[in-house]
Amino acid sequence: MLGTPTSEIEVSLASNKGFWLLLGEEELFVPYAEFPWFKKATIEEISSIEWPTPDHLYWPMIDVDLSVESIRNPAKFPLRAVSEST
């Protein structure tokens, strides 16, 4: 019996400006300026990520859900939460 296929996802690099996500063959930058929920998160919290569907990412340790498309094209998603300490 074959196993369930899984999509590869990982955080490849983090800096004081944001972090890089590898989603299969695609690499995306997640800037803290656009996604302030991650600014105070630890590397462990950022690296604990789930990819349940092709357009859905979930960080369970910080309870953040994002559309992959919102990372690719943040200008198309103007409504977003504002961090209390940005």
Residue 68: other Cβ atoms inside 10 A: 17
Q: Does the structure show a pLDDT above 60 at 2?
A: no
Domain membership flag for residue 68: yes
Domain membership flag for residue 34: yes
Which of 40, 8, 41 lies closest to 25 in space, CA to CA?
8
Q: What is the CATH number of the domain that holds 29?
A: 3.30.2020
Residue at 6: amino acid letter: T
Cite the beta strand spans of the chain per DSSP E.
Answer: 9-14, 18-23, 26-31, 50-53, 56-59, 64-67
Q: pLDDT tens-digit profile of 18-66?
A: 999 999 999 999 999 999 999 999 999 999 999 999 999 999 999 999 9
Domain interval for residue 33 = 9-76
Q: How many domains does the chain have?
A: 1
